[in-house]
Amino acid sequence: MVYHFQFGVVLESWPLLLDGMLKTIELSMGAMVIGLLIAVFCSWGKSNGPRALHWAIDAYIEAIRNTPFLIQLFFFYFALPTMGLQMSAATAALVTMFVNLGAFATEILRAGVEAIPKGQVEAGLALNLKRYQVFLYIVLRPALKTIFPALSSQFILLMLTSSIVSTISADDLASVAANIQSETFRSFEIYIVVTAIYFLLSLSFMGLFKLAWKRFLYFPEGR
């Protein structure tokens, strides 16, 4: 049996693929920003917050890190509506992604925070800085510098994981690919193209994160 490749059928759908790619980027970037803010707050809460907040953050982290992303997605999209909280597929996808990232990024950021010498924190307090100022200016930036490679990898993993949101019919690259496949029946060709697009997206995000590193986080020792 000889298989005849027909990439022309797939390439005719490039506007749909482009739209799906842009929606994947939009969804991923939104989740990255909100997830990082959650991680910063949770890291502060674990370091400076009251014990009750510390326990709540630990419970959140353990619940997310020890359950599958797909189950979390189904919880937000299918389970919460039974309690009166209705979400669109796009909103449920975004919420699931930033809630998931927030838990993993908190643990990554915590490792960076704990690597900061206590003497630096004590010096900041001795200069009469508020605790939140010490956290933002003395702890957070050096911590981000330390854990940025791991955090970048987590961001890219989140972007790749976004393909799962197509299971609830949220619009993204994977859902567009499934629609094209159902119309053309050219599974091999469409998923070769989509694999290449995800690979290029990963490389693009990597380049963007390296640029962010050089622009905002890199500084020579002693600066």
Residue 182 one-letter amino acid:
S
CATH number for position 51: 1.10.3720.10
Number of domains observed in the structure of the chain: 1
In a domain, 12, yes or no: no
In a domain, 165, yes or no: yes
In a domain, 202, yes or no: yes
Per-residue pLDDT in tens (0 to 9) along the chain, 223 residues: 677 778 888 888 899 999 999 999 999 999 999 999 999 999 888 877 788 999 999 999 999 999 999 999 999 999 999 888 899 999 999 999 999 999 999 999 988 887 788 888 778 778 778 877 787 778 887 888 888 889 999 999 999 999 999 999 899 999 999 999 988 888 888 999 999 999 999 999 999 998 888 877 665 544 4
In a domain, 10, yes or no: no
Distance CA(163)–CA(222), nearest Å, equals: 43
In a domain, 39, yes or no: yes
In a domain, 200, yes or no: yes
- Domain that includes residue 42, residue range: 20-217
In a domain, 168, yes or no: yes
Alpha helices, H only, 139-186: 141-161, 173-184
Position 217 scores a pLDDT of 63
Cβ atoms within 10 Å, residue 13:
20
With a CB cutoff of 8 Å and minimum separation 6, the contacts of 57 are: 42, 45, 46, 49, 106
Residue 22 one-letter amino acid:
L
Position 223 scores a pLDDT of 46
